[in-house]
Amino acid sequence: MKTLVVYFSRRGENWAVGNIKEGNAEHIAKVIQKLTGADIFEIEPIKEYSKDYMKCTEEAMAELKSQARPVFKNKLSSIDEYDTIYLCYPNWWGSYPRIVASFLDSYNFDNKTIKPMCTHEGSGMGSSERELKNTLKNSNILSGLSIKGTNAHTSDDQIERWINS
């Protein structure tokens, strides 16, 4: 079986980091892909989130309150060939973004091992691990890795230790 790295990340204005061309979760996903040799897949929204940080947080809160399922552009034909999936995302309002929920709703994760990783600025994994366990009841959700967004681009050693643990 194979390994897949799935990520959603936002470019633009980020808290405490400024404007970035490569999102924090994107950077970490690419490090994981390089270290593991896994396939990689980016969840890309059809309707882009605002590049303005404050506006994006408002959009994220509205999606969370309504339990929205934003549509994403690209699709995988199947995840059947993968037994391990690294799931990388920013912590938005204590959980994974609703676009990630859309991705999770689109595939069968039964009997898959999920390794969650999130970026944040103080709230760690939030409730995302618990929510993943509730959503993907027939999956093996391992202990996640949380990295402050301000440290994302200098965290390669921490990522490697997590992968190898």
- Per-residue pLDDT of 114-138, as tens digits, reads 999 999 988 999 999 999 999 999 9
What are the C-alpha distances in Å from 31 to residues 2, 153, 160? 17, 10, 8
- Torsions phi, psi of 144, nearest 5? -85, 170
Mean pLDDT in residue range 68-87: 96
Token pair 């060939």: residue: 81
pTM listed for this prediction:
0.94
DSSP for 35-84 reads: HH--EEEE--BSSPPPSSHHHHHHHHHHHHHHT----BS---S--TTEEE
Given this model, what pLDDT does residue 21 score? 78
- The answer to whether the beta carbons of residues 70 and 63 sit under 8 Å apart is yes
Query: What is residue 15's predicted lDDT score, i.e. its pLDDT?
Result: 66
Mean pLDDT over 156-164 rounds to 96
Q: What is the pLDDT of residue 77?
A: 92
Percentage of the chain beyond pLDDT 90 is 83
Q: Rounded mean pLDDT of 33-42?
A: 98
Task: At 58, list the tokens.
Answer: 């408002």
Question: Does the pLDDT of residue 22 top 90, yes or no?
Answer: no
CA-based angle 58:152:52, to the nearest 5? Answer: 25
State mean pLDDT over 36-40: 98
- 7 pLDDT more than 90: yes
pLDDT digits (tens, 9 = 90+) for 47-56: 999 988 889 9
